[in-house]
Amino acid sequence: MHVEAAASARKPVTIPALLAMKSHGEKIAMLTCYDASFAAQIEAAGVDVALVGDSLGMVVQGRRNTLSVTLDEMAYHTRSVAQALDNTLLVADLPYMSYRDAKHAREASARLIGDCGAAMVKLEGAGWVCGIISDLVAREAPVCAHLGLTPQAVHRLGGYKVQGRGQDAAERLFADALAVQDAGAEMLVLEAVPAELAARITRALAIPVIGIGAGAACDGQVLVLYDMLGITPGKRPKFSKDFLDEAGSVPAALRAYVEAVRQGRFPAAEHVY
């Protein structure tokens, strides 16, 4: 069946559906999205999960990093995307310092989920963040964790660098992945992680693991929408691919991305560490 036809006929993607996809070995296609027009396009293409990422600070607003993105801005873009989605699951990033304690995390999550239409919030890190995850999940706010290269920690990391290289770093990242799952996270994004380590984490976890620069063994893939359309200014990450260049139109590029993820053709060897 054509991807667009399949998208129009499918049931709404839910968190239990994503868990079922992992258990059945079906790859999950995820893309960032920041407005209603693109949201309608990605839903038509059969994308399973839309992420309103704080990456909007860089690709939409032209900032150097994601740290100045506000909760008000995240709410505006999340509400805009939600208007155009019927079947695609919507995840929204909790921006920098909006989950610095349980109170702020609850308020931010209530706004993005309750007011703006997200089904899940995403936050970065493990350690003390595991307590925040548990608190949110206990209050029916589903959480996607994010490990590896965590952009909100760019200053501590010293830049946008691959994480989990070397045995000690790999073991810490593996332990963090188990910890966020134990805390109640129902999905995990792994960014810029060696493919072998990402495969090990994916096998060990019961929840879906979505890779971005983490190899093809993950349960699914996510890219920044503007990267996969080749319109991000400057040098794009190694793990991205310009699907628009080959497809010739935005709808065709989105369908090509979904098909490549579903069939395990993306990421290829040149996109992983």
Active site amino acids: 191
Asked whether 250 and 244 are in contact (CB, 8 A), the reply is yes
Token digits of residue 12? 């709404």
10 Å Cβ neighbour count for 101? Answer: 12
CA-based nearest residue to 231, from 58, 1, 115: 58
Quickly tell me which residue has 């966020």 as its tokens.
180
Helices (H), 15-153: 15-24, 36-44, 56-59, 71-82, 102-109, 129-138
Quickly tell me which residue has 């407005």 as its tokens.
35
Token digits of residue 205? 């976890």
